Structure 1
Amino acid sequence: MEQRIEQQLDWSDYVGFWKRVLIHFVDFLVLALPTYLLNRICVSAAESAESAFPLFIQFVLLMGFNVFMVVKYGGTPGRLILGARIINGDGSYPALKQALIRDCFLIINGFLAVIVSLNTEELSAVSSSLANWSPLATNLNLLFGWVVVADCLFVVFTQRNRALHDMMAGTYVVKKIALDHFV
């Protein structure tokens, strides 16, 4: 089935590196304020409750939003605004499993960031225990930062402009206009 989409689309129908950079910038512009407000609410709740639980809720909401957007609409707000879509080998939007695999580096980095942030506040016995993992989480976060950089560079050097996470999930980032002709 994967050959079907590859046979139907031209090499110029795949979104390249710089357009992906622009997509992430638009995502930042659109999502920065809501993310900041959610963060303030969750940090305040964590401090009031003396619990790390609200920080993990924030993490789940942010990751869940991203996965939901990819499964339901084929992309994040930046992709939708700039006319790009994430599809699988048969041309449909990714399934939940594909979206989770596609976002695995983001999910791991986000989880490690929550653990690192626990080192700044003593919220509870659980968060104190997790904070003991903060130095390791910081180093792992740095390592995964380099993995993300390498992942992004795959777009420059691979056929059909696929990042490592696209290859792992069996997805492609394509121009929406190309999909309109495909369907």
Structure 2
Amino acid sequence: MLYAGFWKRVLAHIIDSLILGFVFMIMGLIWGVIQLFGNWMPSPAETSILTDGPSAIFTMRLLGQTLLNLGASWLYYAIMESSKCRATVGKLALGIIVVDEFNQKLSFGRASARYWSKLISSIILMIGFIMTAFTAKKQALHDLIAHTYVVDKRELNYILQKQSGRGAGM
């Protein structure tokens, strides 16, 4: 079985979420220290909403932190999955990788498309993720959109070695 199943992918996601959660916590602490001990002055946008009270400033900062976390998450997934590793840390820990339809590593653009397509899977009550358990090639909606596959690394390497060995003997 070449394709990585639902539960293996869920476990990889949990590992990656723990890693990203730690990174987000560190980023939040750094941001908090800068705000607390830095020479913080409200920006013009913050100054204009000071009349709305502290809740408006808190909301703006929360939005900023959320966007920062989303950007960091996107870069983590897109860079790792388009790198030589072809997988995030969670996937590597479980021996699975992400490939395109030719079993090659993803481009940064395709890895980005795969990441942002996960928003669609989330919006439709996670059905896009659950699809993994029911599609023939174990693809989630974001895999179908980006034309990607999550496969067992050892089995893929074995198949590729077998194919190259067969080609060399001819």
- The question of a shared fold, defined as TM-score above 0.5 by the shorter chain, is answered with yes
CA RMSD of aligned residues (A): 2.6
Whole-Å Cα distance in 2 between the matches of residues 103 and 49 of structure 1? 36
The answer as to whether partners of 1:71 and 1:99 remain within 8 angstroms in 2 is yes
SS at match of 2:109: helix
Out of 72, 78, 85, the residue aligned to residue 67 of structure 1 is 78
Q: Deviations over 1:105-157 (max 9, x none)?
A: 45x59xxxxxxxxxxxxxxxxxxxxxxxxxxxxxxxxxx74426111111011
**1:61: how far off?**
2.6
Which residue of structure 1 lines up, in the alignment, with residue 150 of structure 2?
Answer: 173
1:46/1:97 Cα in 2 relative to 1: closer, same or farther (>3 Å)?
A: farther
2:88 pairs with 1:99: no
CA contact (8 A) 1:43 1:54 kept: no
Please state how far the C-alpha of 1:80 moved relative to its aligned partner. Answer: 0.7
1:152 is aligned to 2:163: no
Contact 1:13 1:175 in 2 (8 A): yes
Q: Distance in 2 between matches of 1:76 and 1:162?
A: 17
Q: Percent identity?
A: 26
Residues matched between the structures, number = 137
Q: Tell whether the 8 Å contact from 1:39 to 1:58 is kept in structure 2 after alignment.
A: no
Assess if the C-alpha contact under 8 Å between 1:105 and 1:148 holds in 2. no
Structure 2: which 5+ residue stretches go unaligned? 44-60, 161-170
List aligned pairs for 1:2-13, cutoff 5 A: 12-13=1-2
| Aligned counterpart in structure 2 of residue 28 of structure 1, from 4, 17, 29 | 17
The answer on 1:182 being equivalent to 2:141 is: no
CA distance in 2, matches of 1:104, 1:180: 28
Q: Which has the larger Rg?
A: 2
Corresponding residue for 1:137? none
